[in-house]
């Protein structure tokens, strides 16, 4: 009887042990199976879509013809209506927007448009105290102007809000705010691009170059000027540069920050584009982009839209090793711009490491 009990107990222990091993084994292989399915699904799903060769802005639209007609008084008119005839009005803009000061008739050679958010007061002040100071460029004989681009609040009574009042006071004090009537929102960054380029072309006729930069980037004025000085007259006509992504795929999973649906973008690849944090471009390219934006379907990502227009124009963006969209060491010898300076104290301390205070304060 005792032997039977012992055998029964051993069988129960064995079964329990065997059951646990079975469960763990099942879970392990099931997890591997799920990973395999997800990986295969991602590869298949992300590679679906039309070839970029099928892309075009609008049928029968020649952007160069429209450009020639608008900016060079050509008689070759286009009868095709734009799909984005949007215009944004400036709520606030500086007196003599593209003059070096209220007292000066001199026009800048370079205008830096800083894409900023309404509440980033401290970031804007830091930029004014560092690389946004026009003295940082004057020592090289280059006349530069820094302007901050803002949208408006989405609240119903935004005009009377405390935030708008603070922006107004900042505008009165510094005379470097350009605020437009679109709502400030991550999904409206393409609107900010349209408004900025239209403003640049209509209000600033003399600059040879523009720089579009986010307010959480740090700019190295000397290295930027060195880069611009190396642009030949031939390159100038089609010059647009930055941290260029040559091959990138649309994100198709809805949970991804950069998700885009097939209906919005049916192609399997993005064309080469300079990432939006820092883009350097010539006046002719600014004009071409302003035309292209009217005839291109707008997407949530302004840098991709720029890439699509360049692709249609046959312009290849120039990659600059000194533009870092991802955080790097701030002592890089060829640093042009660097992302990751949202925190104000960190921004100024990093700026001081560049040793340009003497030049910029002269």
Q: What is the pLDDT of residue 250?
A: 93
The answer to whether residues 78 and 139 belong to one domain is yes
The answer to whether residues 41 and 61 belong to one domain is no
Give 7 or 201, the one with higher predicted confidence: 201
Q: 351 pLDDT exceeds 90?
A: no
Structural domains of the chain, count: 2
Phi-psi domain of 49 (left: phi exceeds 0; alpha: psi -120 through 50; beta: other): left
The answer to whether residues 2 and 120 belong to one domain is no
The answer to whether residues 34 and 65 belong to one domain is no
The answer to whether residues 24 and 135 belong to one domain is no
Residue whose token pair is 């949007």? 86
Residue whose token pair is 């991602």? 42
The answer to whether residues 19 and 85 belong to one domain is no
Confidence of residue 141 (pLDDT cuts 50, 70, 90): confident
- Could you read off the pLDDT of 209-242 as tens digits, one per residue? 999 999 999 999 999 999 999 999 999 999 999 9
Q: 36 pLDDT exceeds 90?
A: no
The mean pLDDT value of the chain amounts to: 85
Q: Which of 95-104, 107-116, 147-156 has the lowest mean pLDDT?
A: 95-104
CATH (domain of 329):
3.90.550.10
Residue 226 CA: distances (Å) to CA of 14, 44, 145, 277: 77, 45, 17, 20
Q: What is the pLDDT of residue 249?
A: 92
The answer to whether residues 35 and 128 belong to one domain is no
Burial of 329-351, coded b for 16+ CB within 10 Å and e otherwise, reads ebeeeebbbbbbbeeeeebeebb
Q: What is the mean pLDDT of residues 345-362?
A: 77
Domain range enclosing 238: 54-360
Q: What is the pLDDT of residue 115?
A: 97
The answer to whether residues 123 and 173 belong to one domain is yes
Considering the entire predicted model, what is its pTM? 0.84
Cα separation, 45 vs 253, whole angstroms: 9
Number of Cα atoms under 13 Å in the Cβ half of residue 34 = 6
Q: Where are the beta strands (DSSP E) in 184-300?
A: 209-214, 217-219, 240-245, 273-282
The answer to whether residues 112 and 249 belong to one domain is yes
The answer to whether residues 32 and 107 belong to one domain is no
Closest CA to 198 of 307, 93, 303, 72: 93
The answer to whether residues 58 and 40 belong to one domain is no
Q: What is the pLDDT of residue 169?
A: 98
% of the chain beyond a pLDDT of 70: 80
Q: What is the pLDDT of residue 178?
A: 98
Structure tokens at 41: 């699904």
- Could you read off the pLDDT of 257-278 as tens digits, one per residue? 889 999 999 999 999 999 999 9
The answer to whether residues 121 and 211 belong to one domain is yes
């Amino acid at each position: 009887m005792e032997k039977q009990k012992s055998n029964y107990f051993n069988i129960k222990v064995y079964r329990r042990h065997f059951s646990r091993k079975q469960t763990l084994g099942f879970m392990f292989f099931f997890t591997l199976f799920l990973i395999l399915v997800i990986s295969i699904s991602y590869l298949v799903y992300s590679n679906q879509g039309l070839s970029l060769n099928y892309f075009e802005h609008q049928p029968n639209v020649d952007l160069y013809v429209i450009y020639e007609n608008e900016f060079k008084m050509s008689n070759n008119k286009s009868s095709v209506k734009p799909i984005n005839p949007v215009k944004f009005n400036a709520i606030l803009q500086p007196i003599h927007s593209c003059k070096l000061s209220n007292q000066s008739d001199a026009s800048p050679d370079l205008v830096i448009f800083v894409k900023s958010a309404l509440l980033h007061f401290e970031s804007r002040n830091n930029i004014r105290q560092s690389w946004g100071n026009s003295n940082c460029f004057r020592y090289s004989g280059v006349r530069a102007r820094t302007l901050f681009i803002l949208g408006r609040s989405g609240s119903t009574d935004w005009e009377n809000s405390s935030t708008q009042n603070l922006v107004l006071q900042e505008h009165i004090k510094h005379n470097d705010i350009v605020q437009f009537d679109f709502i400030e929102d991550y999904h409206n960054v393409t609107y900010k691009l349209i408004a900025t380029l239209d403003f640049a072309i209509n209000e600033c006729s003399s600059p040879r170059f523009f720089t579009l930069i986010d307010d959480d980037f740090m700019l190295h004025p000397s290295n930027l000027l060195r880069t611009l000085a190396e642009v030949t007259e031939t390159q100038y006509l089609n010059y647009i540069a930055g941290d260029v992504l040559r091959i990138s795929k649309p994100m198709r999973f809805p949970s991804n920050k950069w998700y885009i649906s097939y209906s919005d973008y049916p192609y399997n690849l993005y064309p080469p584009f300079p990432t939006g944090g820092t883009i350097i471009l010539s006046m002719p390219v600014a004009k071409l982009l302003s035309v292209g934006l009217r005839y291109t379907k707008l997407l949530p990502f302004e840098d991709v839209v720029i890439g699509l227009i360049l692709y249609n124009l046959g312009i290849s963006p120039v990659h600059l090793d000194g533009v870092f969209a991802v955080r790097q060491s701030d002592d890089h010898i060829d640093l042009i711009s660097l992302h990751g300076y949202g925190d104000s104290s960190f921004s100024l301390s990093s700026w001081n490491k560049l040793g340009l205070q003497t030049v910029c304060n002269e």
